[in-house]
Amino acid sequence: MKPEKRIVELREALHDHNYRYYVLNDPSISDGEYDTMLRELESLENDNPSLITKNSPTQRVGASPIPEFGSIPHRIPMLSLANAMNENELSAFDERIQKGLDEESVVYMAEPKLDGLGVELVYENGTFVHGSTRGDGYTGEDITHNLKTIRGIPLSLRIDDLNAPSLLEIRGEVFIRKDDFKKLNQQQESSDKPAFANPRNAAAGSLRQLDPAITANRPLSIYCYEAGMIEGIYFANHSSFLTALKKWGLPVNPLIQTVVGSSGLIQYHQKLEAQRNELRYEIDGTVFKVNDYEKRETLGTRSRSPRWAIAGKFKAQQATTVIHDIEVQVGRTGALTPVAKLEPVYVAGVTVTNATLHNQDEIDRKDIRIGDTVLIERAGDVIPKVMKVILEKRPKISHPFQIPNNCPVCEHEAYRPEGEVILRCGNISCPRQIKGRIHHFASKLALDIDGLGEKIVDQLVEEKIIHSIDNLFTLEKKTLADLERLGEKSAENLIDAISKSKETTFARFVYALGIRNVGEHIAKVFEKQYVGNLKKFQNASIEALEEIDEIGPIVAETVVQFWSDESNKIIVQNCLNNGVTLANVDTIKNQSFEGLTFVFTGALEKLSRKEAKDMVEKLGGKAAGSVSKKTSFVVAGPGAGSKLKKAKDLDVHVLTEEEFLVKVKKIQNQETLKGL
């Protein structure tokens, strides 16, 4: 047989076996036989390199590692799901939907909530062109090279039963099966590499490799469950979309089914929860989605999650273990928190070694002692809790545990503010608190001071060089260079980083101050409310703060309390006097194109080249003159020639001018959405 013919035959057969294995769950050959065929194909292609195609099953591992991750904006944001913590909340969800649609028996799609990583796959005219992580929901990281190594992801769609649409964006979850995870960790151990804490971490780590050869050796699986943007085919509902996915060769979870009304939701949820431990993969709940797409439109979305869907959370999982010790930790607000040091135990997908004991009241109420065997519980991502002591297993000699009345760091007396259960170190100059505040101030989501890590902060505070955040801005290079472990060069870099960090935003700065209960999101809410006016924010009353959407009485009170301390105002003023500037809110840039390079070629009809270039740059991207492997998109108009050809040869994404404009508009709309 001619090699051309055998190659085509092998590719088709392998494609088909993949489909039987991953979609139909009904393989007709063994893994060994599959590998033999794949090797035969590899050797034929080696002998006939001109016959290699992009979509050949041998091309799953691209040639070389990539230098860094590019970013890919999601044309439709990847939202998250609101949670229902119990059956009542599931019923309440059904009631809201009934009301919203003015309809009694609503049909839902019921799905397992897979505990992996959300990704987006993009197929153009049936070919897998790129894939990305969820990222912040608006822009993700380009992980095409790694997704290609996942055998469950077809490099081209099957078109035996249904033609491929011109554009198909699919969302799904990449995960590692429990048995594969066990094997992977055994491999890690036998090659002296650290074991992964759980399948989810292992999957995340695998997708974030620059070298696809590493990812190819990780046993990643995928199930697809949502649509992004689709062009060239219309679906009236989610069930027909999922059916089409299977026809195209994309794996869809077999436990997905339709259910009706609140009893349908609850029954499915209970059934799946009972089945949970028998499944071959980790799930952390159920997902229910209104099946009909028009009805989804009617219901609409909130800023971060659609109204038409909900995640049903499972009850926490429990295990027993022994408390070896109780440590008291000091937080950056001075709170003394007792933490139980546990004999490591595997529960709900992770190895647990610590559990918070919250405070003395909790310890007394449950009579928790060192040496006790305890029942611990882990729910979702929160720190595990000790539920109760198993008294029968208490050692003969044991003593009630008392949190020492002095701060374990500075030995200053601790106090308990009125009405609170938590002990606090009363020393605002406690080195641990100072270090914590400064470290938080410099962290990524705050002022993002590169190079000011925990160790350096510790040193600076211990040597009494700085004692509050404003001192950072008057640091001198010489002082830093004299520090142990920090040479001239690092000192200079750090001074540069500090100086760069001065140009920041209201939201980052307010978050950086570490006001209790004011996280990243709430800081943005304040930024929007006060349009970047710090003075107004400082002088706001509890009542005024409470009027703001999303701000409750607790946040309002802590904010007012924070500013009532004159020293906080002085510190902030010192920062401003030393050059900290907060960007005008309306000039805070949308940087969705950051990391992307565009090349324009051919005649543009709506835009001048200059306008197109400006648009790209305004969104943080680059416009280049020639096409290379680093080009993210080529925008081609009529008459495009060699650059277009080169783009196709290099497998660079090509857009029409119209598609480019749609992309930009979408991003601009998302920006308004984000601001809502």
Asked if residue 134 binds ligand IVH (CB under 6 A), the reply is: yes
Encoding tokens for residue 226?
């949502």
Q: Taking CB under 6 A as the rule, does residue 169 contact ligand IVH?
A: no
Q: Does 122 bind ligand IVH (CB under 6 A)?
A: no
- Give me the least distance between CB of 265 and ligand IVH, in Å please: 14
CB nearer to ligand IVH: pick between 305 and 578: 305
Q: Site for ligand IVH (CB under 6 A): which residue of 40, 42, 61, 80?
A: 80
Read off the tokens for 308: 């038409």
Task: Rule CB under 6 A: choose which of 225, 241, 509, 600 binds ligand IVH.
Answer: 225
Name the strand (E) or helix (H) holding 73.
strand 71-73
Shortest distance in whole angstroms from residue 74 CB to ligand IVH: 12
Q: Output the CA–CA distances (angstroms, integers) from residue 277 to 271, 273, 317, 347, 424, in the order listed.
A: 12, 8, 10, 11, 41
Of 287 and 615, nearer to ligand IVH (C-beta) is 287
| Binder of ligand IVH out of 13, 29, 44, 81 (CB under 6 A) | 81
Contact segment (CB under 6 A) with ligand IVH among 112-120, 212-220, 384-392, 524-532 equals 112-120
By C-alpha distance, which of 676, 671, 517 is closest to 137? 671
Phi, psi of 641 (to 5 degrees): -125, -105
Beta bridge partners of 156: 127
Instruction: State yes or no: residue 379 binds ligand IVH (CB under 6 A).
Output: no
Q: Nearer to ligand IVH by C-beta: 130 or 134?
A: 134
Q: Which is nearer to ligand IVH, 38 or 204 (CB)?
A: 204
Q: Are 285 and 118 in contact (CB under 8 A)?
A: no
Q: Is 353 in the site for ligand IVH (CB under 6 A)?
A: no
For residues 138 and 401, which CB has a smaller minimum distance to ligand IVH in the complex? 138
311 counts as binding ligand IVH under rule CB under 6 A: yes
In the bound state with ligand IVH, the residue whose beta carbon lies nearer, of 81 and 560, is 81
Choosing from 114, 220, 265, 495, the residue that interacts with ligand IVH (CB under 6 A) is 114
**Bridging pattern class, strands 139-141 and 71-73:** antiparallel
The whole-angstrom separation of Cα 241 and Cα 250 is: 11
Note whether 527 binds ligand IVH by CB under 6 A: no
Per CB under 6 A, the segment of 75-83, 341-349, 413-421, 555-563 that binds ligand IVH is 75-83
User: DSSP H helical segments within 49-114, as ranges?
Assistant: 87-101
Q: Considering only CA atoms, which of 387, 342, 372, 337 is closest in space to residue 358?
A: 337
Query: Is there binding between residue 199 and ligand IVH (CB under 6 A)?
Result: no
Give whichever of 134 and 218 is closer to ligand IVH, judged by the CB atom: 134
Across 37-62, b (16+ Cβ under 10 Å) vs e yields bbeebeebbeeeeeeeeebbbbebbb
Report the 10 Å Cβ neighbour count for 279: 14
Of 173, 282, 292, 377, the residue at the interface with ligand IVH (CB under 6 A) is: 173
DSSP-derived secondary structure for 461-476: HHTTS-SSGGGGGG--
Interaction between residue 111 and ligand IVH (CB under 6 A)? yes
Q: How far is the CB of 109 from ligand IVH (least distance, A)?
A: 9
Nearer to ligand IVH, 166 or 267 (CB): 267
Nearest distance in Å: CB 117, ligand IVH: 6
Q: Least distance from C-beta 55 to ligand IVH, angstroms? A: 27
Residue 296 interacts with ligand IVH (CB under 6 A): yes or no: no
Q: Considering the rule CB under 6 A, would residue 143 count as an interface residue with ligand IVH?
A: no
What CA–CA distances, in Å, run from 60 to 63, 148, 154, 170?
A: 9, 5, 10, 19
CB of 46 to ligand IVH, least distance (A): 39
Instruction: Give the one residue of 17, 113, 269, 385 binding ligand IVH; rule: CB under 6 A.
Output: 113
Q: Rounded to a whole number, what is the distance in angstroms from the first to the last CA of the chain? A: 64
Q: What share of the chain is helix, strand, coil (3-state, %, to 5)?
A: 40, 20, 40
246 is catalytic: no
Please identify, using beta-carbon distances, which residue of 111 and 180 lies nearer to ligand IVH.
111
According to the binding rule CB under 6 A, does residue 282 interact with ligand IVH? no
CA separation, residue 201 to residues 176, 196, 208, 283, 379 (Å): 9, 7, 11, 14, 17
The residue type at 100? G
| 79 contacts ligand IVH (rule: CB under 6 A) | yes
Q: Using CB under 6 A, count the residues that bind ligand IVH.
A: 16
| Among 2, 54, 99, 113, the one annotated catalytic | 113
Pairing of strands 257-260, 221-231: unpaired
74 sits near ligand IVH (criterion: CB under 6 A): no
358's CB contacts (< 8 A; 6+ apart) are: 337, 338, 421
Task: Please state at what angle helix 261-275 crosses helix 87-101, rounded to 10 degrees.
Answer: 150
Which residues are known to be catalytic?
113
Residues that bind ligand IVH (CB under 6 A): 79-81, 111, 113-114, 118, 134, 171, 173, 225-226, 287, 306, 309, 311
